[in-house]
Structure formats: structure tokens, C-alpha cells
Homo-oligomer: A and B are copies of this chain.
Amino acid sequence: MLLLVLMKEERFFYVPNATDVDRLPQEEAAHATRVLRLKEGDSIFLIDGEGGIHQAVVTIATNKQCQYKITNTTTLPQSENRIHIAIAPTKMMERMEWMAEKATEIGIDEISFLEGQFSERRKMRVDRIEKTVVSAMKQSRKAWMPAINDMIPVKQFIDTPREGRKFICHCHEEIPRTSLQQKLEEVQSSMFNVQCSTANGQSFTVLIGPEGDFSIEEVEYALKHGYESVSLGDFRLRTETAALVALMTIRLKVKG
């Protein structure tokens, strides 16, 4: 993997199904040949988003296309624990792009967008988030592309069955909440595991509300459907920061 670290970020390309095709997608090809001016014989790396990082050599480079031949493939395992953050997007789109970038760096498996009762943003350019995620994935050398889902209403998201532990973060003081950290420690403690880790291979879903929070009705709906009521500590956090804090808390408290 040392070579991977040494390779410049710009030489990484995202190519879904990299082994089934023999050329870079149009946009990546334009960047490779026109901006980076790659030529036949140059080394590149292909990330397929499904665990594969492929070393390849450019075989044909024209203004319009960039063909390659894979010379070596490294397959990286998916993280043992699966973390899915479902968030009601902020008014400012760039805060969501920032969140997606950072979440990808830190390690996330799935991001969904929610339309809540108090949502300020009811339309979402998921393609922009995907672009950010692809760029962060290349930058941080991730082999797995997080799944990015279209926006759906909160209740529809809750209605969909999901494995593992499910949390809803909110600020309603009239509904009892436990800190997410404490919730994760409870499991740990009950397992008498002093290394502060819970079992591997778990799934976690975390709901993060809009700037105006979830409505009480939405929180109660979630609680009826198996979600646990949590806070993120004494911090008063912006929506996008809350998502990151929740993600980091799970990553740090649960090994794998």
C-alpha cells in the first residue's frame, strides 16, 4: 500500500466496474488527458467503489478518451460495522457538501436525506453530494463508495425496516434522552469489555433533524418504530456538525 500513499491524488480515478470496462468515464478521461496530460505508458489508479483499487497503465490517450490496462488489483474489505446517517439537509447546500466530504474521510457507509416537518430545504441535488463524495473518496483513498440516497419524508424513512441499532437525535427536553455516547457505553459495560469496544459487525442508523429540529410527532413516531432517543452531549451543534459528531462517536466507541 506504500505506493498508493505515494501516488498523487490526481492520478486516482473513480471507475465503477473498472474491471469490466477498458476506459475512463468521459469526465475522468477529459481530466486525465487534457488537464493532467497523461500519455500512453503512464501509471494511474482506479477506485471502483466496491473494494477494488486497481493499478493500471494508460494504453491509449486522446483528447476524448483514455483507455487503460489493469496490471494489479488490491481488494479492501468493507468496514465491519455499518453506519448510516439520515439527515434533514440544511438551507445552505455547502454545509451538506462539507458534511459529506468529512463523513467520507472519517468513514461512512450510507447517507440519506430526510424531508421533515420543519425542513428548510425540500429539494436536494444528490448528484452534487455524490461528486463531493467521489472526490473525498479519491483524496482519502477509500475503496468503498458510500451509498447516497435521494431525499424522502422522515416517516417513510422510519417505515423502512433496518437492521441493528437505530437512534434519533433531537433537542426536545420534554422527551427523555440519553447521550449517544452513554448508549454505546451501556452495551460495552454490560459486556464487561474494558477495551471500550462493542461487538463487531453491527449496523447503526442515526437520524439528524433539520435546523428547526424534528417535530415532537416525528420523534414519537420514530420511538414507536424502535428508534432510541439520544442527545449528542451538552454541545449545541449545527445540523451538519451533529452528523459528524454522531459518526465520530460511533467510530470511536465501536471498534471495526
Report which A residues bind B (CB closer than 8 A): 2, 5, 98, 102, 105-107, 139-141, 171, 173, 181, 185, 188-189, 194-196, 235-238, 241, 244-245, 248-249, 252-253
Contacts and interface: CB of A to CB of B under 8 A. Distances in A.
B105 A140 contact: no
Contacts of A102: 241, 244
Contact of A195 (B185, B235, B249): B185
Contact of A252 (B181, B188, B237): B181
Contacts of A248: 245, 248-249, 252
* Copies, count: 2
A8 B188 CA distance: 39
Contact of A241 (B5, B106, B195, B252): B106
Contact of A185 (B98, B185, B196, B236): B196
B235 A107 contact: yes
A243 B241 CA distance: 14
B245 A140 contact: no
A249 to B, nearest CB: 6
Contacts of A106: 235, 237, 241, 245
Contacts of A237: 105-106, 140
A84 B235 CA distance: 18
Contacts of A188: 196
Nearest to A242: B105
